[in-house]
Chain A
Amino acid sequence: EDQVTQSPEALRLQEGESSSLNCSYTVSGLRGLFWYRQDPGKGPEFLFTLYSAGEEKEKERLKATLTKKESFLHITAPKPEDSATYLCAVQIRGSQGNLIFGKGTKLSVKP
């Protein structure tokens, strides 16, 4: 069964304290892995797409990496405005495009 697991469920950081969020996946064939940011009561905001092991993408304080079994979202020197829930999703090769989501990691950054 195709599955996506995110850890930890929640993460509390002090401002400036770097850390990583994990997304592990078990799928029949990966077409793409996606990271989204979701603020309370809002729709997910697209961050990154990764397609192959070894690929990395960066945006401001965020860097996403991909291996054959998992992806990491590294947050460098986070600020309070980085507080949100971060969602990971995978798309299966041969599917019609629908995404399988993990449950998310809720990040809180305290000043």
Chain B
Amino acid sequence: DGGITQSPKYLFRKEGQNVTLSCEQNLNHDAMYWYRQDPGQGLRLIYYSQIVNDFQKGDIAEGYSVSREKKESFPLTVTSAQKNPTAFYLCASSMPHQETQYFGPGTRLLVL
């Protein structure tokens, strides 16, 4: 079955800790994206990557970092510099030269 997987489903972060959210896809999509969703707000773009070993900042990149070493994987690290990390994080991917983005099931990050 082709699709996008995100893990873990729930993640707890302690003060000053960096945590990494996983996103894997087997759809052979070139482009991958990370969004953050807060209650009452639209999805906001954190980072995106059009090809391996290249990525760009989105609208709210401060306090986050990413890597794209493999086509299938686009992990997101929430650093200690992100002061308000509690949110629902969504990963998406799309075919090259196609606009439609397909989303994973999401990771909910909570602060202890």
Query: Does A associate with B in a complex?
Result: yes
Contact B106 A43 (CB under 8 A): yes
> How large, as a class, is the contact surface on chain A?
20 to 34
Size range of the chain B interface in the assembly: 20 to 34
Q: Does A109 contact B (CB under 8 A)?
A: no
Q: How far is the CB of B89 from chain A (nearest CB, A)?
A: 10
Q: Is the CB of B50 within 8 A of A97?
A: yes
> Are B42 and A98 in contact, CB atoms less than 8 angstroms apart?
no
Q: Show the binding face of B for A, using Cβ within 8 Å.
A: 4, 6, 31, 33, 35, 40-45, 48, 50, 56, 58, 90, 94, 99-106, 108
- The residue in chain A whose Cβ has the minimal distance to the Cβ of B31 is A97
The distance in angstroms between the C-alpha atoms of A43 and B107, with both chains bound, is: 9
Min CB distance A72 to B, Å, is: 18
Given the known interface contacts A98-B48, A98-B58, the answer about A4 and B99 at a Cβ–Cβ threshold of 8 Å is no
Secondary structure of the A contact surface, majority rule: strand
Whole-angstrom distance between the alpha carbons of A79 and B103 in the complex? 25
List the count of A-B residue pairs having beta carbons below 8 Å apart.
60
Chain B contact residues, majority secondary structure: strand
Q: Chain B's nearest CB lies how many Å from the CB of A61?
A: 21
State whether B105 touches A43 (Cβ < 8 A): yes
* 18 interchain pairs, CB-CB under 8 A: A4-B42, A32-B99, A32-B100, A34-B99, A34-B100, A36-B103, A43-B103, A45-B103, A87-B43, A89-B43, A96-B48, A97-B99, A98-B33, A99-B43, A100-B42, A101-B35, A101-B42, A104-B42
